[in-house]
Amino acid sequence: MNKNVALRKTDQGWKFIDESELETFVWDNLKEIFQLKPLTRQLSIKGEICDILAIGENNQLAIIELKNTEDRYVINQLTRYYDNLLEEQPLKTNINYDEQIRLLAICPSFHRHNLIDEKHRRLNFNLFTFFILYENDEFYFHLSHIHNKSETKIIKINYQEVNLQNQENDNIPEPPRLLLDLLGSLTNTEIENLRKIRHQILSFDHRLEELIVNKSIIYASKYGKDKMRQCMEFCFDRKSKKILLFLWLIIPNRQNKTIARMQIDTTEEYLTYWRYAPVKEGSIFWEKFFNHIYYMVPGNKDSFFKEEVFVDDIKFLVDNALQIWLERIT
């Protein structure tokens, strides 16, 4: 089964949300695309970072460089990687350096300088262009060799276009494009549960707005000059392919009611949570032990606090954050 992929919609069509997502997709589909076995990613050698190293028959090394946008230096990069790897010969137990090294580049398009470099280099390069094809509500990775169209590959992408229609027929605004892009790699159940959380926030008070800040979606009210009272945040985690949920809540067991941005560990596809803790580095450490969370304040090893925390409905926690936000603005 293909793994989830994060895409984004642009005026020109669909793209991977960033280069690392393209790299992950190719890595997960190396066998289907090139009949190669994945070896390592982001290998650092002599100050250079190789995107993907893979091996084929007789442990022949393949070096793969990827670009999510057009780049004029990809041939130069592959040449340097080739030289560095031949000189250092890392991973010798996995790689047969007596075999000819394959040099592969995957880009949406190639700048003409790359084609000139390829033409006059002694090394053999294989250049592939790609685009994302969207038809019949499905997404496909379409890969073609620039000189040999018979090497075209089409692989299904596990992504869906999300349409968060206002089912309640109230004044909830249309969602931003960023949110729709982030939701596309989730399951239908996850999408629906996050839609309900968003609706719960935006229907609570007309002063709560949906704002995009540094690739996160913040739910807050504005005041003064460029100031906000935050309530909730959605942030996409590239590694887990999940949307992380943050709420502004009171830190438990403190004499002063300190409000902090808390990361919520959700379960059951965003229906419930089982713990939360401040995300500011160094503010508090926590560890779950059965139904208790133990807090340790840095700088005082003997200072432990505990609070019973059970798996609970996420709606209850969002309600709590909304009441805290309301008290802060009144």
Identify whether residues 68 and 34 lie together within a single domain: yes
Last residue of a domain, one of 157, 190, 206: 157
Identify whether residues 98 and 225 lie together within a single domain: no
Count of domains forming the chain = 2
Identify whether residues 141 and 186 lie together within a single domain: no
**CA 206/CA 217 separation, integer angstroms:** 17
**CA 65/CA 53 separation, integer angstroms:** 9
Identify whether residues 15 and 99 lie together within a single domain: yes
Within-domain flag for 166: no
Identify whether residues 28 and 146 lie together within a single domain: yes
Last residue of a domain, one of 123, 157, 191: 157
Within-domain flag for 100: yes
What single-letter amino acid sits at 318?
Answer: V
Domain residues for 150? 7-157
In tens digits, the chain (330 residues) has pLDDT values of 567 899 999 998 999 999 999 999 999 999 999 999 999 999 999 999 999 999 999 999 999 999 999 999 999 999 999 999 999 999 999 999 999 999 999 999 999 999 999 999 999 999 999 999 999 999 999 999 998 877 799 999 999 989 876 656 567 888 999 999 999 999 999 999 999 999 999 999 999 999 999 889 999 999 988 899 999 999 998 888 899 999 999 987 777 888 999 999 898 899 998 888 887 644 444 444 444 444 444 444 444 444 444 467 899 999 999 999 999 998
Identify whether residues 184 and 71 lie together within a single domain: no
Identify whether residues 184 and 226 lie together within a single domain: yes
The CA radius of gyration of the chain, in Å to the nearest whole number, is 25
Integer CA distances (angstroms), 16 to 115, 142, 214, 215, in order = 24, 13, 18, 15
Identify whether residues 139 and 265 lie together within a single domain: no
Within-domain flag for 164: no
Identify whether residues 113 and 186 lie together within a single domain: no
SS3 category, 281: coil
